[in-house]
Amino acid sequence: MPGLNLQAPFPDNVPTHPLLVVDYELIQKGDTEEINKLWKAATELGFWYLKNHGADDEVNGMFEMGAETMRLPLEEKMKFEQGDDGMSAGYKAAGVNATDETGARDTVEFINISKDDVLAYPEQVHRDYPSTVNARMGPTIKPFVKKSLAINTTLLGVLNNKLGLPQGTLAKLHPPEQHSGCEARCIKNPPPIDSALAQARAAIGAHTDFGSLSFLHNRLGGLQVLPPGYETWQYVRPLPGHAICNIGDALSIFSGGILRSNLHRVVPPPGEQVKYERWSLVFFTRPSYSENLRALVDDSPLIAEAVAKSENPAVFTPNATAKDWFARRIKNQRIKNRKGPETWRASRGMEHRPEAA
Ligand SMILES: O=C(O)CCC(=O)C(=O)O
Ligand SMILES: [Fe+2]
Work out which ligand 1 atom sits closest to the CA atom of 110: 9
Whole-number percent of the chain with pLDDT over 70: 95
pLDDT, position 265: 97
Least confidently predicted of 242-246, 269-273, 342-346, 351-355: 351-355
pLDDT band of residue 4 (cuts 50, 70, 90) is low
Work out which ligand 1 atom sits closest to the CA atom of 203: 1
Compute the distance from residue 297 Cα to the ligand 1 centre, in Å: 31
Please give the domain boundaries of the chain with CATH numbers for all domains.
21-346 (2.60.120.330)
pTM of the model: 0.96
Q: Is the pLDDT of residue 1 over 90?
A: no
Work out which ligand 1 atom sits closest to the CA atom of 284: 10
Among candidates 270, 255, 179, which has minimal Cα distance to 222? 270
Compute the distance from residue 265 Cα to the ligand 2 centre, in Å: 7
299-339 residue pLDDT tens? 999 999 999 999 999 999 999 999 999 999 999 999 999 99
CA-CA distance, 355 to 342, in Å (whole number)?
A: 12
Give, for ligand 1, the residue of 278, 282, 284, 326 to mutate: max count of ligand atoms closer than 8 Å to Cβ. 282
- Does ligand 1 come within 6 angstroms of the Cβ of 204? yes
- Does ligand 1 come within 6 angstroms of the Cβ of 218? yes
ipTM of the complex: 0.99
Residue nearest to atom 1 of ligand 1 (CA): 280
Most confident by average pLDDT, 22-26, 98-102, 274-278, 352-356? 22-26
Compute the distance from residue 249 Cα to the ligand 2 centre, in Å: 11
146-197 residue pLDDT tens? 999 999 999 999 999 999 999 999 999 999 999 999 999 999 999 988 766 6
Q: Is the pLDDT of residue 351 over 90?
A: no
Q: Is the pLDDT of residue 356 over 80?
A: no
